[in-house]
A = this chain, B = another copy of it.
Amino acid sequence: MDAEAFRVQAHQVVDWIADYLASVGDRAVFPDIEPGWLRSRLPAHPPAEPESMDAVLTDFRELVVPAITHWNHPSFHAYFANSASGPGILGEMLAAALNANAMVWRASPAGTELEEVAVDWLREIVGLPPVFAGVINDTASTSTLVALAAAREAGALGDRPGRIYASVEAHSSVQKAGMVLGLGRDGVQAIPTDAEWRMQPQALADHVRADREAGVLPLAVVATLGTTSTTSVDPVAEIAEIAAAEQMWLHVDAAYAGPAAVLPELARHFVGWERADSIVVNPHKWLFTPMDCSVLFFRDPDRIRAAFSLTPEYLKTPEEGQGTNLMDYGVALGRRFRALKLWMVIRAFGVSGIEARIREHCRLARLFASWVADAPGWEVSAPVPFASVLFRWTGRGEDAASIDAANHAVLEGLNRSGTAFLSHTVLEGRTVLKLSVGNLRTTEADLARTWTALRDHAARP
C-alpha cells in the first residue's frame, strides 16, 4: 500500500470513525453473541494472496464490529468506564505512522522527552510535588509490578522471605506481581478493611510487627485510592506513617481515581499520597486517553533503575548520562510513543476542561446514586467518593441467595439487551451491581434510560 493508496483508505476510515463516534450511542453496548461467534465466521487459514483493503474493511464492519463491546459507548458503565477522546485518537494515528520506539534517547528523542513533559504535566495536574518523576507503561498491572520490583530490590531481601501488604480490596495485580516476583502467593498479605472497605492501619501495623518477629521482611505496602470493587479510599496518610516507621516502600494505586485529584473538593481523599515512593495513575482510565497509558510516578529514579537497568553493548549510545534511556525503568525494552496522545489530550482539554469533565462524572454518579437510594427495593451499597456507584436490588423480601440471583439476572438481562453494560462485584458475600461513569458522552438522559431499564428488568418475574 503506497502513500496515495493509504490516503484514500485512511480518509474512508476517518469517515467511518467519525460516523462511529457520532452514533456509537445508538448501538447495543454489548453484542448479544455467544463465545465463538466471530471465530467461526473467519477463515481458519491466512490468505495466500493479498486481499484488497476494501474487502478487509468490509469484514471489519460486518464481522468485527458486530462482535465488539463498545467501551466508547455512553452507556458503557462496567469495570471503570473510560473514553477514547478525539484528541487521543488523533495521537494514536500519528504515533502509529511515526512508529517511534523510545528505548534509548537517540532511538527517539521526541518519544523520550515528550514522555518526560507529559508525565510532568500530569504530575502537576494531580497536585503531586516536583520530586516525582515518572514513565508511561502499558497498564497499571505493569506499573505496579515495576514499583514492587524496585521495592524488593531496595529491601535488600537476601535469603529472607519478603512480604507485601495490601488491603483485601486491593487490585488483583498486586497479588499477580507477588507471584511474578517470586514472593509466592504468601508473599502478599491481605489486610482487613473497615466498614467502608478501607484498609485498617492498625491491622497493617500488627501484621508487619508479627512478620518481623517471624523473620519475614516487610518490603512494601500498597495503598489504594479508589479500589476496583467499591472505589474505597485507603487512609494513605496513616499508612504512610507506618511505612515510614517500618522503612517499607509505599506504593499508591490511584490507577482509577488519580485524575480526580485535580478537583479541590476531592483533595481530602489524596492527603498523604505525596509521601509515597511510587504512585500509579492511568490516563487510559479516567483521562480520556485511548488504551494503553499508565503513568508510574516515583520519588527516586535510581531505585527503579537499580531493579531494571541493564545496558548491553548494542544499546550503548553517545548520550550516556545525558538523555534519559526509558528502557532502564521497566520490563519492556521496546516502548511505543504513548506520550503523544497524552500530551495531545492534556493540551486539547486544558486543566479546566479536565476538571469540568471529571466533576460532571462525579455529579452524574451521585445523581444516579440518589435515584437508587430513593427507590423502594433498591439500595446503594457503598459510599460514592468518585464516579462509580455500587448498588443492588433488594428484591421482594426473598432470601439472600434469591436476591443475589435476581441481581445477576437483572445484570445479565440489561447487558444482553444492549441498552447499557454494567459489571458486578461481591461485597460481604452479597452480589452488588456496579455502574461507573467515565465516558465523555454520557449524559443525564443516558443514565435515566439505564435506570429505567434496570427497574424494568428487576420488575420481571
Contacts and interface: CB of A to CB of B under 8 A. Distances in A.
Interface string A317-336: 01100111000000111111
Contacts of A140: 333-334
24 contacts: A1-B86, A2-B21, A3-B18, A4-B18, A13-B93, A37-B113, A42-B113, A42-B114, A46-B121, A46-B346, A49-B353, A53-B86, A56-B87, A57-B90, A83-B99, A92-B95, A92-B96, A99-B290, A139-B333, A141-B331, A180-B331, A229-B312, A314-B423, A331-B331
Closest 5 CB pairs of A and B: A182-B182, A1-B86, A35-B323, A7-B18, A3-B22
Given A65-B110, A100-B68, A334-B139, A182 B183 contact: yes
Nearest to A123: B46
A38 B229 contact: no
Interface string A14-29: 1111111110000000
A459 interface: no
A13 B94 contact: yes
Given A34-B322, A47-B351, 6 more contacts: A3-B18, A48-B350, A56-B347, A99-B290, A140-B334, A182-B182
The count of identical subunits is 2
Contact of A39 (B4, B7, B116, B308): B116
A267 interface: no
Nearest to A47: B350
Given A14-B10, A64-B340, A89-B96, A39 B353 contact: no
B46 A351 contact: yes
A82 interface: yes
Interface string A59-83: 0100011011111100000110011
Interface in A267-322: 284, 290-292, 294, 307-308, 310-315, 318-319, 322
Interface residues of A, number: 151
Given A93-B13, A314-B423, A3 B31 contact: no
A107 B78 contact: yes
A105 B68 CA distance: 10
A351 B312 CA distance: 35
A376 B367 CA distance: 79
A13 B17 CA distance: 13
A352 B46 CA distance: 10
Contacts of A424: 313-314
A198 interface: no
Interface stretch (A170-178, A232-240, A446-454): A170-178
A283 to B, nearest CB: 12
B290 A96 contact: yes
Contacts of A196: none
A125 interface: yes
A149 interface: yes
A445 interface: no
A361 interface: no
B10 A98 contact: no
A49 B354 CA distance: 9
A311 B171 CA distance: 10
Interface string A177-215: 001111100000000000000000000000000000000
Contacts of A109: 31, 33, 35, 37-38, 67-69
A49 to B, nearest CB: 4
Contact of A17 (B6, B39, B344, B351): B6
Contact of A72 (B97, B172, B318, B425): B97
A417 interface: no
A349 interface: yes
A434 interface: yes
A313 B425 contact: yes
Interface in A124-179: 124-125, 138-142, 145, 149, 152, 171-173, 175-176, 179
A1 B22 CA distance: 11
A441 B90 CA distance: 24
Contact of A101 (B1, B42, B291): B291
